[in-house]
Structure 1
Amino acid sequence: MTPRLFMDVLLTAGAVVDLDADRAHYLRDVLRLQADAGVMLFNGRDGEWRSTVQAVAKRSMTLQVAAQTRRPEAEPDLWLCFAPIKRARLDFIAEKATELGVCRLQPVITQHTIVERVNVDRLRANAVEAAEQTERLTVPEIGTPVALAALVAGWPSDRHLLLADETGGGRPVADVLADLDDQARAAPWAVLTGPEGGFTRTELDLVRRLAHVHAVGLGPRILRADTAALSALSVWQAIVGDWRRATPRRWPDYATTTMQA
């Protein structure tokens, strides 16, 4: 199987890429790669490239980029804004939201948020691993945590927002999305979900003042915060996003192995 790695470096034919000790260890000692073995690379900007192992040392490895195998592709402009939860569930959100195609993960501090310290580097590591595994060409941006009031104050005027309202004040999410006109479907979007204790009435009223907010319900059951976020993303992708495109491409010349965090 051919490994696939995210490398934040310029990728072009003939370029030489030096791996750090951790990635070199993974390829050399875990996957047992030797000289001339293939490695797929992507950087979030230049598509995907095939490379080969040129040199293997005790604590380093050098790759040479050979040829582009996939060009950059348009992706949905979809954010996930979420109240931080316990670490294991937060890792799960970062991983699955990346698989579901979000372009930004934005932690939001609300009145009922219990976990206020967020390890942004850990979130990014989970997002990178998910992007490697799913053959995605980009990695979501990871925002630093912001208070809900600050998020609303700086909200882009053209970005539509699905507000997960667990109080029953919203229409079914599938109905809301199905009724959108073409202009709204083409707009940038975001999903906002609250903490395990939910939003306060004051917070809901604050968010509802935004120009393009759509308060939605996610069914008759109370969902965990991570389940709510991924459910809303899935419905959006199915009705508005890129799930309407053809099934995922499969590349017969290689299978994918990714570096585990």
Structure 2
Amino acid sequence: MIRLFVPDNLIAGEAVVPAPEQGRYLTAVMRLTVGAEILLFNGRDGEWRATLVEAGKRNVRLLVGARTRPQVAPPDLDLVVALVKRGRLETIVEKAAELGARRVRLVVTRRTNADHTNVGRLQAIAVEAAEQTGRLDVPEIVAPEKLDRMLNGWDADRRLMFCDETGGLPPALDAVRAAGGSSWAVLIGPEGGFDPEEGERLRGLPFVTPVSLGPRILRADTAAIAALALWQAAIGDWVTPS
């Protein structure tokens, strides 16, 4: 069944008017007609069944029915990723949404080749991924920030998994399980890796857990997917409650 993210409050019996592009998608692309049912979510009220009650070229309206799932909090997991080429960054955002990250923070390092990106487009990609994967929230995409500034303001209660290419470090799965805790972020550097001074600073911070992602050097998108999956397998919502 089609799922749409909407900003509206979802209340049984209330009408929701989707955004124009969503309305065109429902009626022109998917060719839904009056009486068709879809699912709605807004990141606050859970998931709700809705019925298409108006399907005109200019006006599309949905009537909210019964709630199908209550709202649940996502894992307290952020992805911090250096800006990379557009296609790879878009893949990273899509996969981060699929793998349950609650937020993607973009960071500029000394070896980052760009200092800006289209955050609006990345947010739209996150919305589409959330709709397709069945999650009940949409990851927030945070505008780029310098690495040093981000670290200066870091919440020390949130562990930072530093995917370090220098070698001699514990495997990510073991390191995360040993460190424990519930609030984490995964840090993925640029294609050229971190500057040596950046790496040295990261290793010296008390909230940082340096880890290895294996014997091979991974591209940023591969590293992000691997690290998020390992965190989920270690202490995330892939783990069966004991």
Shorter-chain TM-score tier:
over 0.9
Distance 2:161 2:116 in 1: 25
Distance 2:128 2:59 in 1: 20
Contact 1:77 1:189 in 2 (8 A): yes
How high is the TM-score relative to the length of structure 2? Answer: 0.96
Instruction: Compute the displacement of 1:205 (Å).
Output: 1.9
The aligned counterpart of 1:47 is: 46
Contact 1:42 1:49 in 2 (8 A): yes
Q: 1:245 is aligned with what amino acid?
A: T
Distance 2:240 2:53 in 1: 38
Unaligned stretches of 5+ residues in structure 2: none
Query: In percent, how many aligned pairs have the same letter?
Result: 50
Instruction: Compute the displacement of 1:112 (Å).
Output: 0.6
Higher RCO (CA 8 Å, separation ≥ 6 residues) = 1
The aligned counterpart of 1:13 is: 12
The aligned counterpart of 2:222 is: 227
Contact 1:25 1:60 in 2 (8 A): no
Render the CA deviation track for 1:142-171: whole Å, top value 9, x for unaligned.
111000001101100200010011112532
SS of equivalent to 1:243: coil
Q: Are 1:238 and 2:237 an aligned pair?
A: no
The aligned counterpart of 1:133 is: 132
The aligned counterpart of 1:3 is: 2
Instruction: Compute the displacement of 1:20 (Å).
Output: 2.2
Distance 1:169 1:111, change over 3 A: farther
How high is the TM-score relative to the length of structure 1? Answer: 0.89
Superposed, which structure 2 residues align to 1:12-161 within 5 Å? 12-161=11-160
Q: 2:56 is aligned with what amino acid?
A: A
Q: 1:68 is aligned with what amino acid?
A: R
SS of equivalent to 2:17: strand
Instruction: Compute the displacement of 1:74 (Å).
Output: 2.8
Distance 2:153 2:203 in 1: 14
Unaligned stretches of 5+ residues in structure 1: 247-261
SS of equivalent to 1:156: coil
The aligned counterpart of 1:190 is: 185
